[in-house]
Amino acid sequence: MSQTTRRLAVAFAATAALSLGAGARAADAKDVNVGVAIPAATHAFTAGIVFWANQAKKDLEAAHPGLKVTVKTASGAPEQANQLQDLVTATKINTLVIFPFESAALTKPVAQVKAKGIYVTVVDRGLTDTSAQDAYVSGDNIAFGRIPAEYLVKALHGKGNIVALRGIPTTIDNERMDAFNAVLKSSPDVKLLDAKHGNWNRDDAFKVTQDYLTRFKQIDAVWAADDDMAVGVLKAIEQAKRQDIKIVFGGAGMKSMVKTLMDGSNPLIQANVSYSPKFIYDAIRLTAEARLKGEKLPPSTIIPSVLITKENAPQYYFPDSPF
């Protein structure tokens, strides 16, 4: 976790402590029952999410005897919606922290949870209706799309062909793609040939890239908006023996990609952008601690995304993390 992110987390906690003023009443730990709904570990980033969510459960229950944290993982939106019902009816949660599998599909189920008086913190993949949540915690998805576009335009000297791989259809995927496109508008000689969903999955990204390599004879750079997808992209390029591609820009700072940057072992990997899955830990901890104090979180907290290069890569290399 970078110093900037640490400072944000501290500031976030301080703001939360002031949010309801002196009139707030602390709750007994046994009265706070937190449900955590997250995607299953279908790829490295969500493996990191699962790891940090369970670490938050362990640390919080140890620090606050009587506090209950239940973590549920889902492999799809319908399963996650069903889990929300179970958390409410069987587990009887009074606080929900949810990393939605998809935005649109989970908005109504989350709104139904909130309508029962349950406090809701949404993390990362936002809902299509923000009235269904009390608080939102995320990385900076606009910067996550803007930074790669700016880097690629500069690296290509303002001229070249780019293909893009998007994630799962969500509000954050839209934010990233819109920010990427906004930069390219000011560089008309940099052409975005196509942008298809690779679903933040290396196998899907491999197939999408194979399609791109078949259809387009000259590609100068690939924006794979996630390091898992970048792995699939690199595999497809290697199998096709394509020599025209100069850069593959992934994202989120997966440890193997950051190590590649540090080592300089793959000339296609020249930069990355930070987006640590540890924000789920911070979101769960800050939500639980605020509820223990009878307080609320700020409506929105955005953790910065920054450019990672060979020079600063050691600051973002966490070898013990699953991501």
Is a pLDDT exceeding 50 seen at residue 8? no
Domains of the chain: 3-133+276-304 (3.40.50.2300), 141-273 (3.40.50.2300)
What pLDDT digit, counting tens, does each position of 299-315 carry? 998 889 999 999 999 99
What is the distance between the alpha carbons of residues 284 and 195, in angstroms, rounded to a whole number? 33
* pLDDT score recorded for residue 10: 39
Q: Is 31 exposed, middle or buried (0-12, 13-18, 19+ CB in 10 A)?
A: middle
- pLDDT, one tens digit per residue, over 250-305 is 999 999 999 999 999 999 999 999 998 989 999 999 999 999 999 999 999 888 99
pLDDT of residue 29: 81
CB 14 within 8 A of CB 264: no
Model's pTM, two decimal places?
A: 0.77
C-beta of residue 98 within 8 angstroms of C-beta of residue 49: no
Question: pLDDT at residue 79 above 80?
Answer: yes
| For the chain, percent of residues with pLDDT exceeding 70 | 92
pLDDT of residue 21: 36
Say which residues have a Cβ less than 8 Å from residue 203's Cβ, sequence separation at least 6.
232
Q: Which residues contact 241 (CB under 8 A, 6 or more apart)?
A: none
pLDDT (0 to 100) of residue 42: 85
Give the model's pLDDT for residue 25. Answer: 55
State the amino acid at position 184 in one-letter form. Answer: L
Tokens of 81: 């919606």
What mean pLDDT is predicted for residues 4-16? 41
- Checking if the pLDDT of 2 tops 80, the result is no
**For the residues 16-36, what does the mean pLDDT come to?**
65
H or E stretch at 242 = none
**The residue type at 197:** H
Predicted local confidence at residue 301, as pLDDT: 86
Q: Is 276 helix (H, G, I), strand (E, B) or coil?
A: coil
Compute the distance between CA of residue 208 and CA of residue 215 in angstroms, rounded to an integer.
Answer: 11
Q: Smallest Cα–Cα separation from 196: which of 221, 167, 171?
A: 167
pLDDT at 154 over 50: yes
pLDDT tens digits, 94-142: 999 999 999 999 999 999 999 999 999 999 999 999 999 999 999 999 9
> 182-227, pLDDT tens digit by residue?
999 999 999 999 999 999 999 999 999 999 999 999 999 999 999 9
H helix or E strand, kind and range, residue 269: none
β-pairing, 95-98 vs 119-123, is parallel
Cα gap 12→71, rounded to integer Å: 23
